[in-house]
Structure 1
């Protein structure tokens, strides 16, 4: 799964990297402890109702809200969506066909438990920013309107299975257009675990367990 992320890339650099037009209300970066239900950077394809064919870098709520929810907290918090059942689940099946997105991150956190039940955090990252596979939708009830998203996950590769049995789907740069629907059909084949050599991980300070923790020291190796 993916329950906390870090994003340290400036918004203008993200826009340039993804060839996207940035919105005016993007979240503040760097943020070394991005939590669910907060706003995150998301790359969408071009607006089909506009003559502009440029991708868009926007803010979305991290936490997918099914259309039948009466309120954002009307059911389970859906921050992740399993790739194996994405096309079948009523909450996700239309989004996986029509509303796929990319979620830029510098890295993400995962946790293990020791024999005493204490949770120990790990920071998982690469040498370059990552583009996580995502799905999104617009939710509206009683005058409240939210654009929301979830990270698509898959069973972990051999390397990451040491700390967790699931991992986000990472989309390689030469497949961004396919995942965003700019190159027709075939995005389903991208929902695979990343190669073992793409990601690295190290233990980090347990203070990241608090959603109030902040600062660059959160991603530093911890002994």
Structure 2
């Protein structure tokens, strides 16, 4: 799974890195070294321009914890933070988003924990040796029935991270990890007109062995309220 990650880049840098046409964020987020579920995060996605009808790549803010369009209660998003790529295209909670609302989730790296849930668990920081990660995600737009049609907050944008079996040394830390999208496949993955489920799944890949580094960090990261660059400093076991 993926329960925490890091995004320290500002939206302008992310826009350049991901070839974004428009920065469409509700607010500029502060660098976050402990991104946790229910927080707002940056997502790269493709939307149609209302005036021209052209598809454009945008940087948007979404809430981590997907709320399906059919949900009656937004609290379901508290449980839908990860989706298994093996079944996401078929599951009722994710299949509509998989069909047409796919996104990239920029990250400096992510955390995983080693050890039994009921025992002492050691956090590790996992990051690319070069550049940023583009984690595969799905997003939804949920209409809040309690808000009026003229309320600017009547729509809630939310996301879920796709995960797969962990590979290489990452599998020795945790058995699941985020799915990644290579730069050469970004356009295909983001294209809302691409409905080829099998082809889309083939675009995704776990990390190539040797591309990611992992090292232990302080258990300070365990508490979601803790933040700052000190969280990714190596710890001595």
TM-score (normalised: structure 1): 0.93
CA contact (8 A) 2:144 2:156 kept: no
CA distance in 2, matches of 1:116, 1:181: 42
SS of aligned partner of 2:86: helix
CA distance in 1, matches of 2:231, 2:86: 32
1:97-136, CA deviations, whole angstroms, 9 ceiling, x for partnerless residues? Answer: 1110000010111111269801211111012111100001
- Residue 161 of structure 1 is matched in structure 2 by 171
Kindly indicate whether residue 84 of structure 2 is the aligned counterpart of residue 82 of structure 1. yes
Q: Kindly report which structure 2 residues correspond to 1:49-198, keeping only aligned pairs within 5 A, or say none.
A: 49-51=50-52, 52-74=54-76, 77-113=79-115, 117-126=119-128, 127-142=130-145, 143=147, 144-181=154-191, 184=194, 185=196, 186-198=199-211
Gaps of 5+ in 2: 148-153
CA contact (8 A) 2:107 2:133 kept: yes
- Residue 6 of structure 1 is matched in structure 2 by 6
Gaps of 5+ in 1: none
Q: Kindly report which structure 2 residues correspond to 1:191-210, keeping only aligned pairs within 5 A, or say none.
A: 191-210=204-223
CA contact (8 A) 1:83 1:191 kept: no
CA-atom RMSD in angstroms: 2.0
CA contact (8 A) 1:26 1:41 kept: no
Query: Which consecutive aligned stretches of 4+ in structure 1 deviate over 4 angstroms post-superposition?
Result: 182-185
Tell me which moved more, 184-193 or 212-221. 184-193
- Residue 151 of structure 2 is matched in structure 1 by none
CA contact (8 A) 1:19 1:54 kept: no
CA contact (8 A) 2:25 2:61 kept: no
